[in-house]
């Protein structure tokens, strides 16, 4: 009987260790891929800016940045979360440029002020032409409808869309509240699992050597 208990305990501990190891490998691999793609993203952006910052026309620059998003940012979920839009990426790049972070910005220009002015122009132009770029999917459509109904003076449709927006906000609040509760429950379960692992380990040690 004692041998069966010891075997079960060792099996449970082994399973937990394998799960922890698999999670560590997954996390490490994801981090390596993310950092590699982020470095590639910033390098591509730097080369794009170097090619166009003396030009008065921003069209081609934006086209190349959109390709950067399509083939690098949008292909990595973490990059998509951290760099949600063109203007945000440019803002982050400008911060690194001002901080002289050589890991990201590795060029030294005589007319650096011209480069900074160009980046600021790109940011302002993008925000002007894409006021709701940060909002994606159905919510973007909803806000566009609200603006259109307001501009057309369509009061009933406008009020209906406003009510729908209120429902969406309430749903979002409920979702965030549920996620917070689930996160706390998950943390508690993790702590319990760690405690049980320690207890099983002590029991095994005692049964094996006593």
At residue 39, the pLDDT reads 92
According to DSSP, residue 73 is labeled G
* CA pair distance 122, 69, nearest whole angstrom: 15
At residue 176, the pLDDT reads 78
Statement: residue 27 has pLDDT above 90: no
Statement: residue 26 has pLDDT above 60: yes
Q: In this predicted model, what pLDDT tens digit does every residue of 125-166 receive, in sequence order? A: 998 887 766 565 566 677 777 777 888 888 888 788 878 877
* CA pair distance 154, 162, nearest whole angstrom: 12
Give the tokens for residue 65. Answer: 């940045």
Statement: residue 124 has pLDDT above 60: yes
Give the tokens for residue 46. Answer: 């730097």
In sign, the C-alpha dihedral spanning 126, 128, 129, 131 is positive
Burial tier of 199 (Cβ tally within 10 Å: 0-12, 13-18, 19+): exposed
CB 93 within 8 A of CB 105: yes
* CA pair distance 165, 141, nearest whole angstrom: 11
Helix 86-98 / helix 112-129 crossing angle, nearest 10 deg: 160
Give the tokens for residue 148. Answer: 């259109």
Q: In this predicted model, what pLDDT tens digit does every residue of 32-88 receive, in sequence order? A: 899 999 999 999 999 999 999 999 899 999 999 999 999 999 999 999 889 988 999
* Minimum mean pLDDT range among 65-79, 106-120, 165-179, 183-197: 183-197
At residue 209, the pLDDT reads 45
Give the residue, 137 or 118, on which the prediction is more confident: 118
Give the residue, 181 or 185, on which the prediction is more confident: 181
CB 127 within 8 A of CB 102: no
CB 86 within 8 A of CB 126: yes
Statement: residue 194 has pLDDT above 70: no
At residue 208, the pLDDT reads 46
* Minimum mean pLDDT range among 6-20, 72-86, 192-206: 192-206
At residue 84, the pLDDT reads 86
Question: What integer is the mean pLDDT of 17-28?
Answer: 76
């Amino acid at each position: 009987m004692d041998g069966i208990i010891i075997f079960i305990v060792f099996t449970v501990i082994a399973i937990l260790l394998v799960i922890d190891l698999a999670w560590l490998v997954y996390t490490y691999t994801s981090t390596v891929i993310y950092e590699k793609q982020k470095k590639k993203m910033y390098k591509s952006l730097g080369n794009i800016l170097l090619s166009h910052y003396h030009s008065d026309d921003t069209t081609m620059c934006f086209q190349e940045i959109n390709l950067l998003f399509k083939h690098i940012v949008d292909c990595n979920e973490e990059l998509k979360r951290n760099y949600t839009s063109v203007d945000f990426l440019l803002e982050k790049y400008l911060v690194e440029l001002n901080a002289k972070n050589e890991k990201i910005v590795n060029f030294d220009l005589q007319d650096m002020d011209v480069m900074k002015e160009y980046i600021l122009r790109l940011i302002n132009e993008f925000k002007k032409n894409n006021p709701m770029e940060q909002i994606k999917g159905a919510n973007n459509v909803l806000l566009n409808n609200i603006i259109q109904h307001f501009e057309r003076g369509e009061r009933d449709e406008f009020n209906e869309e406003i009510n729908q927006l209120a429902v969406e906000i309430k749903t979002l609040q409920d979702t965030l509240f549920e996620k917070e509760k689930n996160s706390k429950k998950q943390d508690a379960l993790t702590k319990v699992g760690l405690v049980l692992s320690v207890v099983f380990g002590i029991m095994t040690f005692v049964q094996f050597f006593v």
